[in-house]
Amino acid sequence: MLAGTVIAATITYGLMLIAIYGHRRRGFHAAIMSLVILFDVLMPVYLVLTRDWGRRLIEEGDILSFGVWTHFGLLVALYVLYAVQIQSARVLRRSGTAAQDAEAVMIARKEHRAQAKGILLVRALVIFTGALLAESSTA
């Protein structure tokens, strides 16, 4: 059976997809995406508080495994993408309707869309590697 954290992350991935396809409703999109980002930021805190990482990483030697470092690297990449995505969202939110802002808004939208694709890919890989690590601990 999959760990509850993997199921919760998969559900939030579905919510993220719904928010992306509902991007025209900006309030809905921003609220859902903010909650997903908050979930992803708080998940490591929850895992540190509820799991015995000293035993698993140090005593069992998982700290040297490729899977753990891949998962960690993907998490760092996800957080960097989130930071850049939030910056581009702030540019879009603050932009006016003046003619001189039209080009900047168009560039910001393209950047925001490209970053969203990257976030979808990296977040799927984070969930996948997390599931592999969770499954290996119960076997």
Q: Which DSSP symbol is given to 57? A: I
Whole-model pTM?
0.84
Express the helix, strand and coil content of the chain in percent, nearest 5 each: 90, 0, 10
pLDDT along the chain (139 residues), means of 10: 82 95 91 95 89 78 84 96 92 69 82 94 95 65
Decide: residue 10, CB within 10 A, 0-12 exposed, 13-18 middle, 19+ buried.
middle
What was the pLDDT predicted at 114? Answer: 94
What was the pLDDT predicted at 53? Answer: 77
Q: Looking at the 3D structure of the chain, how many domains does it have?
A: 1
Q: Which DSSP symbol is given to 122? A: H
Q: d(Cα 101, Cα 24) in Å, to the nearest integer?
A: 19
Expressed as residue numbers, the domain containing 132 is: 4-138
CA distances from 52 to 63, 75, 137 (A): 13, 20, 11
CA distances from 78 to 9, 97, 122, 126 (A): 14, 31, 6, 8
What was the pLDDT predicted at 12? Answer: 96
**Site of tokens 């690297």:** 73
